[in-house]
Amino acid sequence: MTSESSARPPLDTERLAGSNPDLPAGIAVEVVKETGSTNALLTTRAREGAPEWHVVVAEHQTAGRGRLDRVWHTPARTALTFSVLLRPVLPLASWPWLSLLTGRTVREVLAGSGYPAAVKWPNDVLLGEQKVAGILLERVETASGPAAVVGIGINVAMTREELPVPEATSLAVADPDRVPDRTGLLIAVLARLHRDYGAWQTGGETAAPQLADSYAAACATLGRRVRVQLPSGEVLTGTATGVDEYGRLVVGEQAVSVGDVVHVRLDSVT
Ligand code: BT5
């Protein structure tokens, strides 16, 4: 065994089996050594009829996807790259919350491991100002109705040199003494997501306002001056004051559903 393979052990498939009491009943984890994108593979599974809570996790993603056709890059066995199939019963208009809810779930789990994580609207988890995790929510049409593929990438063991962009960080770079093992982290995120998703699905009218409040409390974007690049190319600047009932970011008078946010430093405001 090389030092690299012992430092970067594979996922423990026995602990990820359905018989593990730490994994809520109904979650089925499929571990693959390599795939282009776990979102793409899970989309295929969904069209083949896979049930809710089918999960695909890859030791290595060779064509990981970000939003808007961007690339998500992680070397083998250094990260968690996985996708969860959900079939929300709530109306499609509230599905964008799923992306925000998942970011908050990841934040809570990392905070539980001692990492001072925060969410950045809409789909990033930050340590300080750097991105440690990203979420990609995609809708897929299946024979039994629309389904949600929730892709989650968490940078775990990457060294500084392995980080793909200067804005990225990993748990190992941020605090090498706390790095959780990937299998335990995956189980913790799935268990917490199961709980948070269940509360959202069954919470009735109070679920959205409760989610909005707890998202706001975890969100580094609110109260900040932001620059939002909209898909049209337009740029919106202002103070982010809240998240509305559809999960949109409120900046000044406008509510934004899709966009890239830059947290503007006060010293760079012109
Ligand atoms: C995201 O997109 O943040 C969504 C990332 C979702 C990745 C997961 S992994 C499992 C599942 N299967 C997939 O194929 N995808 C999902 P976005 O907000 O568009 O951010 C993408 C940008 O983040 C890139 O353009 C880079 O600048 C940067 N980036 C790429 N890889 C990164 C990494 N490992 N860590 C931090 N930033 C990264």
171 CA distance to ligand 1 middle (Å): 16
pLDDT at position 206 is 78
Pocket of ligand 1 (CB under 6 A): 37-39, 61, 64-68, 70-74, 81-83, 123-124, 131, 134-136, 151-153, 155, 164-165, 168
The dihedral region occupied by 6, where left means phi > 0, alpha psi between -120 and 50, and beta the remainder, is alpha
pLDDT at 6: 52
pLDDT along the chain (270 residues), means of 10: 64 94 96 98 98 98 94 97 96 91 97 96 95 98 96 98 97 96 98 96 82 91 94 94 91 92 68
Report the Cα 157 to chain-centroid distance in Å.
17
Please tell me the predicted confidence (pLDDT) of residue 195: 96
Q: Report how far residue 210's alpha carbon sits from residue 200's, in angstroms, rounded to the nearest whole number.
A: 9
- The atom number, within ligand 1, closest to the CA of 79 reads 34
Nearest CA to ligand 1 atom 30: 72
Give the pLDDT of residue 266.
Answer: 60
Taking CA atoms, 139 is separated from 79, 98, 151, 245, in Å, by 24, 11, 11, 20
Q: How far is the CA of 57 from the centre of ligand 1 (A)?
A: 15
Q: What's the CA-to-centroid distance between 184 and ligand 1, angstroms? A: 22
Determine the residue of 72, 78, 126, 161 to mutate for testing ligand 1's pocket, defined as the one with the most ligand atoms within 8 A of the Cβ atom: 72
**Residue 167, Cα to own-chain centre: how many angstroms?**
16
205 CA → ligand 1 middle, Å: 32
| Integer Cα distance of 193 and 176 in angstroms | 25
